[in-house]
């Protein structure tokens, strides 16, 4: 550099170098937060059948539970990243559905969210861990569970009101993004 030239200004905030899936997920989370705000502001009128939403929350509760069970023994970094992303997306969905149901006056008690509790899955995780096949077994479990979750979302969306549709649309987008992960398409 010549003595008369100044160095170009550098941003004080470093730009994150995130993979496209993470950026897509971040965009979906922002959209979901906006949906929560809309649901909170607009509320809901009329009597709404809350069972489909409880079903969706129950499905995600079980997926998160199994993820937490498998997490301690998973070794593959990509599979762990998928698990972490799935947990974040499902927890976000649960929070939104919980707020939505709360706006309808429906209390979501933990015992309502046990419909998909399956202790056989725990045994399968344990066996796969002992056989050094946990990554494969977990990815198979997660794909099947997310497919079921996505089906429940799409089914519920058909009869949902506008407030719930906004939440469901975001949940569908994040679930489809998860199902597009390379682990599901070897």
Helix (H) or strand (E) holding 57: helix 51-71
Q: pLDDT tens for the chain, 186 residues: list them.
A: 555 566 555 555 455 565 677 667 777 777 777 767 666 655 544 578 899 999 999 999 999 999 999 999 999 999 999 999 999 999 999 999 999 999 998 999 999 999 999 999 999 999 999 999 999 999 999 999 999 999 999 999 999 999 999 999 999 999 999 999 999 987
Domain edges within the chain:
49-184
pLDDT of residue 184: 92
Look up residue 86 and give its two tokens.
């799935």
Contacts of 161 (CB under 8 A, 6+ apart): 44, 46, 48
- What is the spatial distance between Cα 64 and Cα 49, in angstroms, rounded to a whole number? 25
Helix (H) or strand (E) holding 78: helix 77-103
- CATH class of the 49-184 domain in this structure: mainly alpha
Contact 144, 51 (CB under 8 A): no
What is the total residue count of the chain? 186
pLDDT of residue 49: 87
């Amino acid at each position: 550099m010549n003595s008369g030239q100044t160095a170009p200004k550098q941003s004080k905030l470093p730009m994150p170098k995130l993979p496209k899936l993470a950026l897509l997920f971040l965009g979906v989370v922002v959209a979901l937060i906006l949906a929560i705000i809309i649901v909170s502001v607009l509320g809901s009128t009329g009597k709404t059948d809350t069972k489909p939403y409880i079903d969706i929350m129950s499905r995600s509760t079980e997926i998160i539970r199994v993820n937490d069970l498998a997490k301690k023994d998973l070794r593959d970094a990509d599979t762990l990243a998928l698990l972490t992303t799935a947990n974040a997306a499902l927890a976000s969905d649960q929070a939104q559905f919980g707020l939505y149901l709360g706006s309808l006056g429906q209390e979501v008690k933990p015992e309502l969210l046990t419909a998909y509790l399956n202790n056989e899955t725990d045994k399968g995780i344990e066996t796969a861990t002992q056989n050094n096949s946990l990554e494969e077994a977990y990815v198979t479990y997660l794909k099947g569970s997310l497919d079921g979750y996505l089906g429940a979302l799409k089914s519920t969306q058909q009869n949902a009101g506008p407030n719930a549709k906004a939440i469901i649309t975001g949940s569908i987008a994040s679930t489809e993004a998860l199902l597009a992960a390379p682990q599901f398409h070897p």
